[in-house]
């Protein structure tokens, strides 16, 4: 076993699936989760070994931590005595700094902080990585390789990670929220729910693909949809009158502030 994943919830399972799809052998991975039922589910689904005992990480070259930020301090305390001196610790916990992780581990432990997102489930993830104080370039590259198995990566200074958390970490939820509202609007206008859902989902996927594939600014793409005195202009006026743009800015700001707060800042 060279990789131990501690915490097999939404994000842990998502990354595990990506790693296995990218060709990593299930024999190479150990999953640690304190919920026995959860471990069994992952064993049945992916064929990985599972345990509830964090001491089993002994010997792992890389230890991926995917527990809630509130559970991380206690986990680090129980993990520290069992960690190999040259192990790489990769934390996914929102808002928790590399310094806070390092403070609970043996001096000199290599730590990388990562903010991934749930589209990793379909290999369209976006993850930002920041290196801790003892992390060598080669270990940062190793962590990047792990995350690249299910999407894109970017390496940033750690000071940017609260903003990243607010944009791409939480971002999928904002998109799903807009989709929910648009589907309800379709139903209000008399469309069957399944039809409304298909129309909205394909519209979001298509708009996302246009943004990426044309590389054009969103303003240019929006203007192409907006005919003079047309339907889109009427809709956009309502969005502006309702302060939707300002609400989105405030929402992202609130998420970044919450991420900062989780670090004790
Ligand atoms: N869900 C998301 O969209 C994203 C989550 N994250 C981060 O990923 C981390 C995990 O989030 P989720 O997967 O959503 O949480 P979750 O609650 O779905 O999963 C956490 C798992 O950790 C296990 N666990 C907790 N303490 C443990 C311990 N001491 N030993 C063994 N297992 C333990 C729990 O039993 C649970 O299965 C969080 O720190 C979150 O900030 C980061 C980016 C996106
Ligand atoms: O809501 C949260 O705290 C986590 C971090 C980013 C996405 N989900």
Helix (H, G, I), strand (E, B) or coil at 192: coil
Q: How far is the CA of 133 from the centre of ligand 1 (A)?
A: 24
Q: What does the pLDDT look like over 70-108, one tens digit per residue?
A: 999 999 999 999 999 999 999 999 999 999 999 999 999
ipTM of the shown complex: 0.97
Strands 125-131 vs 151-155: parallel, antiparallel or unpaired: parallel
From the CB of 15, is ligand 1 less than 6 Å away? no
Place of tokens 């971002």: 171
Are 143 and 189 part of one and the same domain?
no
Are 143 and 14 part of one and the same domain?
yes
In this prediction, residue 262 carries a pLDDT of 86
Domain boundary among 140, 161, 182: 161
Are 140 and 193 part of one and the same domain?
no
From the CB of 3, is ligand 1 less than 6 Å away? no
In this prediction, residue 33 carries a pLDDT of 96
pLDDT at 265 exceeding the cut of 70: no
From the CB of 134, is ligand 1 less than 6 Å away? no
The Cα–Cα gap between 97 and 134 comes to: 14
Q: What does the pLDDT look like over 233-243, one tens digit per residue?
A: 999 999 999 99
Query: What domain range includes position 143?
Result: 3-161
Q: How far is the CA of 244 from the centre of ligand 1 (A)?
A: 31
> Which pTM does this prediction carry?
0.95
Q: At what angle do helices 171-188 and 193-214 cross, to 10 degrees?
A: 140
pLDDT at 10 exceeding the cut of 90: yes
Domain count, the chain: 2
Report if residue 166 sits inside a domain: no
- Mean pLDDT of the chain, nearest integer: 96
């Amino acid at each position: 076993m060279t990789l131990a994943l501690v915490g097999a919830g939404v994000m842990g399972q998502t990354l595990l699936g990506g790693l296995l799809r990218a060709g990593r052998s299930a024999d190479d991975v150990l999953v640690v989760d304190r919920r026995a039922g959860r471990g069994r589910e992952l064993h049945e689904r992916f064929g990985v070994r599972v345990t509830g005992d964090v001491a089993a990480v002994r010997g792992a070259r890389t230890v991926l931590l995917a527990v809630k930020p509130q559970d991380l301090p206690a986990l680090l305390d129980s993990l520290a005595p069992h960690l190999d001196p040259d192990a790489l610790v990769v934390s996914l916990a929102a808002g928790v700094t590399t310094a806070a992780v390092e403070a609970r581990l043996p001096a000199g432990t290599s730590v990388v902080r990562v903010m991934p997102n749930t589209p990793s489930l379909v290999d369209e993830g976006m993850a930002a990585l920041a290196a801790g104080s003892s992390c060598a370039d080669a270990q940062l590259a190793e962590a990047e390789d792990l995350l690249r198995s299910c999407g894109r990566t970017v390496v940033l200074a750690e000071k940017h990670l609260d903003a990243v958390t607010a944009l791409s970490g939480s971002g999928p939820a904002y998109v799903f929220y807009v989709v929910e509202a648009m589907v309800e609007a379709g139903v209000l206008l008399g469309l069957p729910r399944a039809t409304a859902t298909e129309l909205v989902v394909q519209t979001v996927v298509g708009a996302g693909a246009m943004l990426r594939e044309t590389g054009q600014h969103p303003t240019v793409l929006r203007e192409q949809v907006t005919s003079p005195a047309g339907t889109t202009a009427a809709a956009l006026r309502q969005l502006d009158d309702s302060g939707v743009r300002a609400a989105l800015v405030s929402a992202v700001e609130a998420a970044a502030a919450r991420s900062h707060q989780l670090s004790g800042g």
